[in-house]
Amino acid sequence: MSGWDITPSGVESILSLVGLAADDLSKDLKVYGKSVEEAARYAGTISGPYCGSGPPVGPVGTAVANFASDTRGQITFMAARIKKTMKGTVEATNAYIDGDLAMAAQTQREAAKVPTPAELRAVAGRPGRKGGE
C-alpha cells in the first residue's frame, strides 16, 4: 500500500488556482514588456549644446534593453515550466485514478472467481490432503 492519498477534486482546485496565477503572470509579463520598452525609450540620451545630437537610445536605455533581452529566456522557461508542471500533474492524477480503477477491477475479478479447493476446505474446516488437492 502506498502512502499516497490523492483527491482528484483537491488537485483540480489547486490547478485552478495555479492557472489563475499563471494567467495573472502572463498579464504581468505583457505589462513588464511594455514598461521595459518605455523605460528604455524615455531613459534619456547624452546630448546637448556641447555633445551634439545624441543617439536615439542612451546608455541607460541600452542597459534596460539588454536586461530585458537577457531575462527573456528565463521568463520563457518559467512559463514553459508552469505549463509542463500543470500537464504532468493532470497526467499523474489520471494515472493514479486509472490505477485505482484497475486495482478495483482486478480485486473484483479475483473475488468473482470460483473458490479453489483449498478455499473450500478452509471454509468447511477440513485440513488439506497430502499428495495434492
At 32-60, the pLDDT tens digits run 888 888 887 777 666 555 555 555 667 88
Band (pLDDT 50/70/90 cuts) for residue 1 is very low
Task: Count CB-CB contacts under 10 A for residue 86.
Answer: 15
Threshold 0.85, pTM exceeds: no
Phi-psi region of 103 (alpha: psi -120 to 50; beta: other; left: phi over 0): alpha
Among 75, 71, 45, 72, which Cα is nearest to 57's? 45
